[in-house]
Amino acid sequence: MIAGASEFVIPTRALNVAFLLALYVPICGLSYRWLRPRLTPIAWRIAAGFMLAQAAVIVLSLIYQLESGFTWWLWDLNSEWNLPTLLSAIQFASVGFAAIFAAWAGRGQPIWLRLYFVVIGLPFFVLGLDDLFQFHEANWFVETAYTGLGIGLALAASILALLVPRRNRIWLFCLLTGLGLAGFGGFFLERYRDYCGKLASFQLSHCLEPYHYEEPLEMLGIWLVLAAVLGLFSDASPPTSVQRALYWLPSLFVAIAAIAVPASPYSIPALGRTPAVVFEAGESLHDHRVKIYEQEVNVRLSLSPEGRIFVDGLGYSIHLVDQVNGASVLRLDRYAQRELKFTIGPRLAHVYRQDMTLSYTPDMPANRALWIVLTLWRAQADEYLRQPVVSSDLMLLGDTQVVLGELALPEVTADPSAAWLAAFDAGYRLANVDLPERAKAGDALPIRFDWRSDTDGSEDYAQFLHFVHEDTGQWWGFDQQPLGPRLPTRLWYKGLANSETWQAPLPDDLAPGRYAVFTGLYRQGAQERVTARDIAGKPWPDNRVALGSVTIEQ
């Protein structure tokens, strides 16, 4: 379709369909040609059943892509605890079960190959549970462990491919391909956000959503791993009665999941835990998650009403609040989501998932510390009454604002100079200092510091100034954060290039004379100076950087 004189609009759904065809058609064709003859009939039926289920789920997700409500959620690839999630979880768990079966039935296989099956088995079963319960959403370490596990399994499979008989190598190749596809989808594409606008010189009809590529890649990759495990199982020539037991694997996992579901279909970490925040009206915040992307912040909440459902008019707001002046620089209001009810035991609290994204534009204030703040409110007549907090494990701003996290919007700047005065082992560089030659006691001494950061900050550092009298040796000091309270070092980011002009208050009784001026950094908690080096890599004495001198007059 033409949108203007020369702009061609590409239907985004057509791109999604083209990608799926380019992905599934070759793999299905090659699998039918090369894998089917090597699998037992039972193993092939299981593999083909999962492939058909994937195709059905993906087709229905495309059909209902632009819909809303329950039907959309039921088939949405990016939602949780729906049919695509259940299929993905069953497939993960079936890999684990089939691997254990292969280790048990493959008595004629080399011992190290059977041990590899065992190593695959348990982690894949855990991954199946994770697909349901989202353990990695509550703990970043779990996601890192999954990445390491995938790399380890791939390296081990590469080594085994050199040791196993030639007839088995096709399965290890299949396994490696599957791990690669699943890793690319689940851990690489997952980090990208929706892309809207133009693709090359073409205009997209709708935003390009990475999950339409991420989820199929992950599902198809795990299917290839399942086919590989079933192939190695088939090569062991187990009895037919043992092969028939494979049919029960999906049912067994569904039964295990059904037992666990009443406990918590959304957030296992909330089990047995008192709510993180309780509001005066009785609503509770159980869990929250904040993800920060290039130009947006995604906030996910698990809220419970006092009864079984939220009362009419209940809503919440997410604000970005300046930490210095308390002003709200961006806000988004939403009425509480009353669908998709979950139950968390043992309290049997009804929890409703709330998910919202704040998008910010380039003109938003950069390099300022911002709180991510939640407020709960109730609409009554023409008023929106904020709900006070009665208990909270989270930081509060006043009695109605709950701090969920913090961030600093980065500023895209180029470092104009490769030269610098001092490099600190914390990953920061002092690029330049503008120090006046003279000042009067009792005045505020303006000193400009240009800072660069080569890493993402994680803790708070303070900067000191020492004025040492060149004749008497007496000294005076002044400390504050390098860029002031507007941007603590814990929120510095790789590529930061920013400046701050201090107004150092000189004491009225500061003795006149010439003072040598030094600066440095120290950890605020441990009061420990950070090692500072000059441009040649030589440490500055006492980790104090010499800035020059200033003459103090009365």
Under 8 Å between Cβ of 518 and 466:
yes
pLDDT tops 90 at residue 10: no
Q: What is the mean pLDDT of residues 74-97?
A: 83
pLDDT 10s digits, 122-148: 888 888 877 776 665 555 555 667 677
Shared-domain flag, residues 240 and 178: yes
Q: What is the mean pLDDT of residues 93-120?
A: 80
Q: Is residue 4 part of a domain?
A: no
Q: Is residue 331 part of a domain?
A: yes
> Which of 239-248, 488-497, 536-545 shows the lowest per-residue confidence on average (mean pLDDT)?
239-248
> How many percent of the chain have pLDDT more than 70?
84
CATH number at residue 497: 2.60.40.770
Range of the domain at 323: 275-408
Q: Is residue 13 part of a domain?
A: yes
pLDDT 10s digits, 237-261: 777 877 787 788 777 777 776 665 5
CATH number at residue 310: 2.60.40
Shared-domain flag, residues 460 and 533: yes
Shared-domain flag, residues 471 and 440: yes
Under 8 Å between Cβ of 216 and 185:
yes
Q: What is the mean pLDDT of residues 499-522?
A: 95
* Closest to 4 in 3D by CA, of 161, 202, 286, 241: 202
**pTM (two decimals):** 0.61
Residues forming a β-bridge with 49: none
Shared-domain flag, residues 202 and 283: no
Q: Is residue 123 part of a domain?
A: yes
Shared-domain flag, residues 284 and 394: yes
- Out of 200, 226, 260, a domain closes at 260
Task: State the total domains in the chain.
Answer: 3
- Supply 446's token pair: 């303006």
Element (H, E) at 241: helix 240-244
pLDDT tops 60 at residue 266: no
Shared-domain flag, residues 342 and 398: yes
Q: What is the pLDDT of residue 110?
A: 74
d(CA 44, CA 273): 45
pLDDT bracket for residue 514 (50, 70, 90): very high
Q: Which residue has the higher pLDDT, 340 or 213?
A: 213
Q: Is residue 1 part of a domain?
A: no
Shared-domain flag, residues 288 and 370: yes
Q: Is residue 269 part of a domain?
A: no
pLDDT 10s digits, 370-393: 999 999 999 988 888 999 999 999
Shared-domain flag, residues 235 and 317: no
Under 8 Å between Cβ of 496 and 456:
no
How open is the CA angle 153-157-33, to the nearest 5 degrees?
115
Q: What is the pLDDT of residue 67?
A: 60
Shared-domain flag, residues 73 and 166: yes
pLDDT 10s digits, 400-419: 999 999 999 888 765 556 67
Q: What is the mean pLDDT of residues 138-162?
A: 70
Under 8 Å between Cβ of 493 and 456:
yes
> Which of 226-230, 241-245, 334-338, 517-521 shows the lowest per-residue confidence on average (mean pLDDT)?
241-245
- Out of 260, 283, 313, a domain closes at 260
pLDDT tops 70 at residue 497: yes
Helix, strand, coil % in the chain, rounded to nearest 5 = 40, 30, 30
Beta-sheet pairing, 438-440 with 545-553: parallel
Q: What is the pLDDT of residue 521?
A: 96
Q: Is residue 417 part of a domain?
A: no
- Residue 374 CB contacts under 8 Å (≥ 6 apart), including other chains: 285, 288, 299, 301, 316, 317, 318, 401, 402, 403, 404
Q: What is the pLDDT of residue 98?
A: 85
Rounded to the nearest integer, the mean pLDDT of the chain is 83
Shared-domain flag, residues 137 and 184: yes
Shared-domain flag, residues 385 and 430: no
Q: Is residue 308 part of a domain?
A: yes
- Out of 208, 232, 260, a domain closes at 260
Shared-domain flag, residues 197 and 279: no
d(CA 54, CA 84): 8
